[in-house]
Amino acid sequence: AQKVTQAQTEISVVEKEDVTLDCVYETRDTTYYLFWYKQPPSGELVFLIRRNSFDEQNEISGRYSWNFQKSTSSFNFTITASQVVDSAVYFCALSEAIRGAQKLVFGQGTRLTINP
């Protein structure tokens, strides 16, 4: 069965520090997709990134970067020079395609608090 583990329940850092959120997944599929979503205190779920299992290149978007390592089944997320607005719960998710639809299996989430 698909499984996603985010071992860090809560992380608290001071503004401008770099922080890495860990995500480890389990799947028997050879083709799959991984996602990160952000849930700020206002409650909505905001899409951050989608990565397929064949693309192991790291991705950078501004202060955000993602490190995908198939050998260790990990898809970690780093925020550089963190800001208070980055405070949120972050979810890693793994996809399973089912007849035209797609089931997302979410990790437990990591609550990130950036202190001024």
Partner 1 sequence: DTAVSQTPKYLVTQMGNDKSIKCEQNLGHDTMYWYKQDSKKFLKIMFSYNNKELIINETVPNRFSPKSPDKAHLNLHINSLELGDSAVYFCASSQRVAGYVGKTQYFGPGTRLLVL
The site for partner 1 (CB under 8 A) is made up of: 29, 31-33, 35, 37, 39, 43-45, 47, 50, 52, 89, 91, 93, 95, 97-106, 108-109, 111
Q: Quote the CA–CA distance of 15 and 109 in Å, as a whole number.
A: 21
By C-beta, is 21 or 89 nearer to partner 1?
89
Burial of 7 (0-12, 13-18, 19+ CB in 10 A): exposed
Least separation in angstroms between CB 28 and partner 1: 13
Q: Indicate the Cα dihedral angle 87, 43, 52, 23, nearest 10°.
A: 50
By C-beta, is 36 or 114 nearer to partner 1?
36
Least separation in angstroms between CB 98 and partner 1: 6
Least separation in angstroms between CB 100 and partner 1: 4
By C-beta, is 73 or 80 nearer to partner 1?
73
Specify whether the CB–CB gap between 102 and 72 falls below 8 A: no
